[in-house]
Amino acid sequence: MPGHSGVGFPLSSSTVLDPARARYLPAVTGDSFLLAPDEPLGEGLQRLSLGQLEEAMAGFVDPAASIDDAIHRARKATKRLRAILRLVRPEIGERVYRFENRTLRDAARLVSGVRDAAVAVETVRLLADRFDGSLPIDVFDDLSECLDRRYLRIRQRIVEDSRAVAEVVASLERSRARFAGWPTGEAVKKVYGSAIRNRFDAVGPGLGLTYARGRREMKRAMISPTAVNFHLWRKRVKYLRYQTEILRSVWPEVVGGAAITLERLSEHLGQEHDLAELLSLLAVDSQLCPDPVERSLFAAVAQHRRAELQVGSNVLGMRVYAEKPSQFVDRLGVYWKSNRLSTGVGIVADV
């Protein structure tokens, strides 16, 4: 395993995962992406982070996995990791946050073109299904074929150029070494910071920042419904979704319900973004849809669908962001405290 480099994420004072904490495993991915009710905060976030780093690398080292699956898993895992970083951003400091966030972002970008090209193909299919019966049969066949050929070309370049994949894996391995082997000692702490405190104050400010930024982006998108504004809002919704997933054990019925609503909102905004990106692509390269009549028809139905998705997003967004940021954080703080009292963990620290 590569050694430490640059700065790193001070999640725990332990240098390895203690076997005594095995009762918390394997809650690292999927529906288990959450802290256990009685789990120390720093250790729990370290466990989740290591699990996501393993997930991000898994597809690239599994000979049975396709490159598409590997890239999709890596992108999703790195977004979850970046949500964790934002959750403790005020706790770990800007220097550490920016280094780790940039590292994960840049690693995912190396192979993101394949996923983006595949999404363009899927976007046309979803649009055709949405307006099935309202449009001439197979009206977008040529566009689908052109986008599919484009996707295969981009995919082939990644498959043939193993350097990009190797660089992604190497970067993720270095990140895992930092997360798993956090150095201790007073001299190091002066440079890197200290471990995450086992109290809500360690995550409350970061949660509030994510919520407040999403609320501002929502208002901006409602006032000026541009593709850029909706995309910026979408990114904040994703981070808040993952953060509520992590914390949903404090009250699964309520916080888990919020996470589900955020997932629906994220899907709405994601489809809106995909349509906007495809329209932008066609504006740059009209040869993807050379028939001007078909291109005009596609633009019309795509804009219609975008308007539908924007309305749906606004409705869901008004529910999610109904509270002021301080009210949202205070409410989650009460859930945290009551959960810790019920499990007998952190009573002194949190009361």
pLDDT tens by residue, 58-108 = 999 888 889 999 999 999 999 999 999 999 999 888 998 999 999 999 999
* pLDDT value, residue 312: 97
* pLDDT value, residue 186: 46
* pLDDT value, residue 21: 40
The band of 181, judged by pLDDT with boundaries at 50, 70 and 90, is low
- Give pTM, 2 decimals: 0.87
Average pLDDT over residues 313-330: 98
The band of 28, judged by pLDDT with boundaries at 50, 70 and 90, is very low
Average pLDDT over residues 3-8: 49
The band of 299, judged by pLDDT with boundaries at 50, 70 and 90, is very high
Region of poorest pLDDT, from 136-140, 150-154, 306-310, 316-320: 136-140
Domain boundaries, the chain: 1-198, 199-342
More confident residue, 132 or 323: 323
3-state secondary structure the chain: CCCCCCCCCCCCCCCCCCHHHHHHCCCCCHHHCCCCCCCCHHHHHHHHHHHHHHHHHHHHHCCCCCHHHHHHHHHHHHHHHHHHHHHCHHHHCHHHHHHHHHHHHHHHHCCHHHHHHHHHHHHHHHHHHHCCCCCCCCCCHHHHHHHHHHHHHHHHHHHHCHHHHHHHHHHHHHHHHHHHCCCCCHHHHHHHCCCCCCCHHHCHHHHHHHHHHHHHHHHHHHHCCCHHHHHHHHHHHHHHHHHHHHHHHHCHHHHHHHHHHHHHHHHHHHHHHHHHHHHHHHHHCHHHCCCHHHHHHHHHHHHHHHHHHHHHHHHHHHHHCCCCHHHHHHHHHHHHHHHHHHHCCCHHHHC
> Per-residue pLDDT for 187 more than 70?
no
- Name the token pair of 232: 């910026």
> Per-residue pLDDT for 1 more than 50?
no
pLDDT tens by residue, 249-298 = 999 999 999 999 999 999 999 999 999 999 999 999 988 988 888 889 99
